[in-house]
Amino acid sequence: MAQTQNIPLKLAELKHRRELCLKELKGDKHISKLGQLAVWITDKVGSMGFFFIIFFWTIIWLGWNILAPVAARFDPYPAFVLWLFISNMIQLFLLPLIMIGQNLQSQHAESRAETDLKINELAEIENETILMHLENQNILMLQILKNIESKTDSLDSKIKG
């Protein structure tokens, strides 16, 4: 967003652009309660803690149904039909929730990336404006310096002559 003119923006214009940008960035980014639940489930299920829960549940279930007395076994070896059914139900319920949560997380990441881009563009405009102000100040200081030099030269010539 390079400016076409070498005229720096006024401070008020910079503040106005910043306010507009911030209002736009704070826009409607509301996630529904169900969406928040899906993200929470995605965060929890995608953790090592959940993996260990499932792992130890499986070890205990299979171990009990292999090593326990025959009368105490409730899911007979080698089929483990009940364990397979429950495991598949967990997968069937969690898979869509995880996908929804990942989609919401992806949308949030994309929104953050767009926000970063807008902030960077605004910072670029502000930097260009500051540089133009510095250039203009440099030109003014050089003119003032030339003015002072010419006056001191004329004073020196008056004093000598």
Per-residue pLDDT tens digits for 45-63: 989 999 999 999 999 999 9
From first CA to last CA, the distance across the chain in angstroms is 57
Mean pLDDT of the chain: 87
* Domain interval for residue 76: 31-122
Tell me whether residue 4 is in a domain.
Answer: no
Which pLDDT does position 148 carry in this prediction?
94
DSSP secondary structure letters along 74-101: SS-TTT-HHHHHHHHHHHHHHHHHHHHH
Tell me whether residue 95 is in a domain.
Answer: yes
Q: Does the bond joining 78 to the residue before it have cis omega, within 30 degrees of 0?
A: yes
Structure tokens, 40: 């929470």
The residues, ordered by sequence, that sit 6+ positions from 7 with a Cβ below 8 Å of its Cβ are: 132
Work out how many domains the chain is built from and give that number: 1
pLDDT along the chain (161 residues), means of 10: 59 80 70 87 91 96 94 92 95 92 90 87 87 91 94 85 67
Which pLDDT does position 21 carry in this prediction?
76
Which pLDDT does position 29 carry in this prediction?
65
Which pLDDT does position 1 carry in this prediction?
46
